[in-house]
Structure 1
Amino acid sequence: MQIKESSEVYDVIIVGSGAGGGMATKQLADAGLNVAVVEAGPFFDPADPKTMTQLKWPYESPRRGAGTDRAFGEWDMAYGGWEIEGEPYTHAEGTEFHWFRSHMLGGRTNHWGRISLRFGPKDFKGKTRDGHGDDWPIGYEDVKPYYDKVDKLIGVFGTNEGLENDPDGFFLPPPKPRLHELFYIEGAKKSGVPVYPSRMSMLTKKINNDRGVCFYCGQCGRSCSVYADFSAGSCLIFPAQKNGGKVKIFVNSVVREVTTNEEGKATGVSYISKDDRKEYKLKGKVVVLAASACSSARILLNSKSKQHPNGLGNSSDVMGKYLHDSTGASRAGFIPALMNRKVSYNEDGVGGMHVYSPWWGDNSKLDFPRGYHIEIWGGMGQPNYGFAMNPNEFNKFFGLPVGGYGDSLREDVKKYYGSVVGMSGRGEGVARKENYCEIDPTTVDQFGIPVLKFNYKWSDLEVKQAKHMQDTFEEILHNMGGEPLGDKPDKDQNYGLLAPGKIIHEVGTTRMGDDPKTSVTNKFQQLHDVDNVFIVDAGPFVSQADKNCTWTIMALSWRASDYIIEQLKQQNI
């Protein structure tokens, strides 16, 4: 097949445009470098009036909000999902992993809940703390300056609380708790569970002229038309272009491999265009992978050559290994005191929780080593496709049929809507070498690129953590005067622990370390084997924490970008 090769040589080629790729684009372009961004999906701008985004009713959609190419429905802006036609992945027998992909400019930052938490000092030193997993080659003090910069550049609301492992930052004013959250606060306090204002990246105050301020429509999942919430395209890539940066974006371009020369150094990337199904090559002095933990590992494992027969950067044979996702379990309850609510003020707020509970437990006294935080949901948000009331659950409490259609449905909705409160735990699983992804030699995708095969099982430690979540949720619901909905998940159901990959926080496939024999990158996320290739997604994470990983992806991407700029100036790469 004839491959079309570009004559232009870019200073940096960045693969992926999400949190890590967006931040690298911003920092490297602002430094004057000529940057090419290669994105597997289409261009996307939430401010485009043709885009179905905010301030539209479900009846304005032909499908009433049901998605076709979106796993979470039409009101969520992340194209793609766990299953994408023509782009399969496989599993080792008896294992399970769900791989979420969002192919579009901005990647998964168009979907996420914008919960913006820093990793704490303990999170970088897991093995020292409890003997499980490994320590990072860096600590909190190495990343803190970049967390500070990300706070100020992106904007995050919250409060400084002086918590040991949930570090303070530079916060905008947080929104006040909504009514169902006030009930949660009282219930949690009775169980000794602390509650604080959430830390989320929506602007409650003006920070620059490029972005608007949140006006509390509560629809952040649709991606914000005034750029008040954070998405990588609107808040990093567009400003980089606006400020005069040399940024060229290649959309609908699926990277096959990183190309190399006779010396084994990277020379650029090869990609398939979705528009014409032809293969193209871009040339670059530096290649930065930010395609997501699993996608970047897949690209490198497929980048085989005489100099790199095991895949580019994989002399250690640990690429793809130590894959792990956040743990997750949930429970909801009916709160009778919230029946027949009168809505006397804007109850929507931001698109997500106004309060949360960081990990409070002492793991030395528990039967699992790592913690979790609690996310709270409920309230009076706009119903859309899939909204329903479960008659069986409400019958159990009232002995009366609930729902139906016509006047009876309207009356029941008014009576019960907003009376259900839910809690979700998001915790840390332990990184294990035996949980991994690899290339499946028998399967290719629609572009002829070999796909990933997953091998992943939760251990007893994650299951025990989920049991603690369920016990805590049920206790808090009873403290609120509520009744848990549904039966409590038991051991046979892993206490409601969601399957690996379902929380969409996967990390660890290209872990960093000081020893090239046991890691893929160094502490600046530079391949040990090839000095002009960097990885700035969550692949280099040595461990996950009991926090969402996006803020750490961006802080580390900024740190790696500074290192790239310095190394280019010194002509070391």
Structure 2
Amino acid sequence: MPAFRHEVLVVGSGAGGAMAAYTLAKAGHKVLMLEAGRDYDPKTETPMFQTNGEAPLMGASTRDKNFGFYDATVDGGWQVPHEPYTTASNSEFLWWRARMLGGRTNHWGRYSLRFSEHDFKGKSRDGLGADWPFEYQDIAPWYDKTEELVGVCGTNTGLDDMPPSPEGILQPPPQPRIPELLVAAAAKKHGIPVAPMHRAVLTRPKDDRAACFYATPCGRGCSIGAAFQTTTSLIPMARATGNLQVITQAMVKSVDVDDNGRVVGVTYVDKHSVEEHKLTARVVILAASACESARILLNSKSRKFPKGLANSSGQVGRNLMDSTGAYLGALIPALKGRPRYNEDGHTANHLFIPWWGHKMQEKGDLDFPRGYHFEISNGFSQPGAWVGGNLQGYGPALKQDVRDHYGAYVGFALRGEMLPNPGAYMEIDDKVQDKWGIPVPKFHFRWSENELRQVEHGLKTARLLLETMGATVGDVPAAEKAISKGGEIIHEVGTTRMGSSASDSVTNQWGQTWDCDNLFVMDGGVFASNPHKNCTLTIMTLTMRNATWLAGQLDKGML
């Protein structure tokens, strides 16, 4: 395979990589994108119209297909053939890899909540973690541009945890389901707000993408482009400029530097031939996901950078954070045996419970910092292999019980902020290599008391709401048992965090590494904190902003 000479080489094709490629290609710069997974075209490969009954095990999850046989992960998961990783003793961490063109954007939940002024300056409020090197007002115009480009449905709520979008940016949200209205009524009794979820699903047509028609699960991928994924939007849009070239099955081994320590390109392994190739580029952008980008940097050792590239601060791999997760659900008597009708909507919850506790924390009324939100599971979802409930008996009586229970459950999935702690980080395990001879990550992970107290509060709140709706809940599990495993929520960030000083961060506010001015990181690794809101919208927003700045630097000949 011939060597390529490009202005910009982007590693990764998900939220960060595709947005970087699109922004730079639109600005007239030549981009080469490397993707470690296979090529993927959701327009021809997505089984979105098939039912669970047509899938093996009725679509139930297995070790190889974590979210069922029709999930759009193709070759990805927490365990990927030939790509091991290790964990330290007394640690448990699950590392998700997508390994397909488009990365996790093919199968993410598409929840798209803006971070707020509370989220970017958390340390200034409570002294914990790290502040971001800019204010909300600096990034707000870029949220506007990203929401407009991506297509996000929702409404402005006036809540302090949900910054508003300009008029005309957000598309109309779908109508709430009956169980969600019941949740809203219960929450109102306790002064807890409920709001339409902001989601990257089109409810109106946009460019050549169709509006959602509320018929199939978004997790399978979306052949009509209504559910946002880079394979039906940013990547084809970037290719249309003539400035983007893509190589798939390209496993990046290292970022290469010259004798002066300046980045000159990358070395990658062709996963089919297992041959190494070197590519040269004026600028390299790592957007391979937080832990993969950190792995590449830590494996990129040289005489100039013996601890790994861009690691003079010692922060590469540190500050590993995931969202907290916990779940509590119950049967709601008022919903038993209700009439059947199409309640699919855009798959996920139409309403959710945003964080409402900022003022309580200011008063010192809560024993944990930061916040969480609740995603609501409910409704007549497509039946699968599990019918739910502790049902007894057989024959017509059992069938009637199943019918009565169908659509009568409400669940609350907690997603909360994790603060960085010294016990959560990744390093390189020099004793273990993947199939291509690349040393693998070794993960250390633990939750702190901050997260455990947060989950305890959330479980008690969920029980309160369920009981207000008439459910019998009983004792809630202890937070230590209920909290998710590290990596299980698939929101890992922070391993190459940005900051205002080279002494305690890896990049500046533009994602430009302090040690190498022509090396950038544009994925969740740059997050200085991990607010409870899902991270993808902010990854894309930061990347659009930072890639625009990079394009200006290239135009001026600064790099």
Alignment partner, residue 96 of structure 1: 92
Which of 247, 258, 261 does residue 261 from structure 1 map onto? 258
RMSD: 1.6
Alignment partner, residue 240 of structure 1: 238
Task: Describe the shift of the 1:100–1:7 C-alpha distance in structure 2 as closer, same or farther (beyond 3 A).
Answer: closer
Displacement of 1:433 after TM fit? 3.7
Task: Describe the shift of the 1:240–1:517 C-alpha distance in structure 2 as closer, same or farther (beyond 3 A).
Answer: same
Segments ≥4 residues shifted beyond 6 Å: none
Using the alignment, how far apart are the partners of 2:52 and 2:424 within structure 1? 41
Which of 268, 285, 289 does residue 286 from structure 2 map onto? 289
Displacement of 1:421 after TM fit? 0.7
Mark the runs of 5 or more structure 2 residues left unpaired by the alignment.
none
Which of 62, 68, 73 does residue 68 from structure 2 map onto? 73
- Note the 1:80-479 alignment, pairs <5 A: 80-169=76-165, 170-208=169-207, 210-242=208-240, 244-344=241-341, 346-361=342-357, 362-363=360-361, 364-384=364-384, 386-391=385-390, 394=391, 401=392, 407=396, 410-479=399-468
Using the alignment, how far apart are the partners of 1:513 and 1:416 within structure 2? 51
SS of the residue corresponding to residue 252 of structure 2 reads strand
Alignment partner, residue 47 of structure 2: 53
What is the aligned-residue identity percentage? 46
TM-score (norm 2): 0.95
Alignment partner, residue 31 of structure 1: 27
**Bigger shift: residues 75-84 or 10-19:** 75-84
Task: Describe the shift of the 1:96–1:62 C-alpha distance in structure 2 as closer, same or farther (beyond 3 A).
Answer: closer
Give the letter aligned to residue 425 of structure 2.
Y
SS of the residue corresponding to residue 525 of structure 2 reads coil
Give the letter aligned to residue 269 of structure 2.
I
Deviations 1:62-81 (A, max 9, x none): 45324674321112102311
SS of the residue corresponding to residue 539 of structure 1 reads helix
Aligned partners of 2:52 and 2:382 also within 8 Å = no
Displacement of 1:29 after TM fit? 1.0
Task: Describe the shift of the 1:389–1:67 C-alpha distance in structure 2 as closer, same or farther (beyond 3 A).
Answer: closer
Aligned partners of 1:178 and 1:354 also within 8 Å = yes
Aligned partners of 1:32 and 1:245 also within 8 Å = no
Which of 523, 530, 538 does residue 544 from structure 1 map onto? 530
SS of the residue corresponding to residue 217 of structure 1 reads coil
Alignment partner, residue 476 of structure 2: 488
Displacement of 1:34 after TM fit? 1.3
Alignment partner, residue 8 of structure 1: 4
Task: Describe the shift of the 1:63–1:389 C-alpha distance in structure 2 as closer, same or farther (beyond 3 A).
Answer: closer
Which of 523, 530, 555 does residue 541 from structure 2 map onto? 555
Aligned partners of 1:30 and 1:245 also within 8 Å = no
SS of the residue corresponding to residue 387 of structure 1 reads coil
Alignment partner, residue 509 of structure 1: 495
Using the alignment, how far apart are the partners of 1:349 and 1:121 within structure 2? 31
Displacement of 1:162 after TM fit? 2.1
Using the alignment, how far apart are the partners of 1:277 and 1:483 within structure 2? 57
SS of the residue corresponding to residue 283 of structure 1 reads strand
Give the letter aligned to residue 503 of structure 1.
I
Aligned partners of 2:161 and 2:354 also within 8 Å = no
Task: Describe the shift of the 1:467–1:541 C-alpha distance in structure 2 as closer, same or farther (beyond 3 A).
Answer: same
Aligned partners of 2:322 and 2:418 also within 8 Å = yes
Using the alignment, how far apart are the partners of 1:165 and 1:469 within structure 2? 17
Aligned partners of 1:218 and 1:352 also within 8 Å = no
Using the alignment, how far apart are the partners of 2:458 and 2:324 within structure 1? 10
SS of the residue corresponding to residue 172 of structure 1 reads coil
Mark the runs of 5 or more structure 1 residues left unpaired by the alignment.
395-400
Deviations 1:459-494 (A, max 9, x none): 11100000001100000001111123x752025xx1
Give the letter aligned to residue 479 of structure 1.
T
Aligned partners of 1:338 and 1:419 also within 8 Å = yes
SS of the residue corresponding to residue 184 of structure 1 reads helix
Q: Number of residue pairs matched?
A: 550
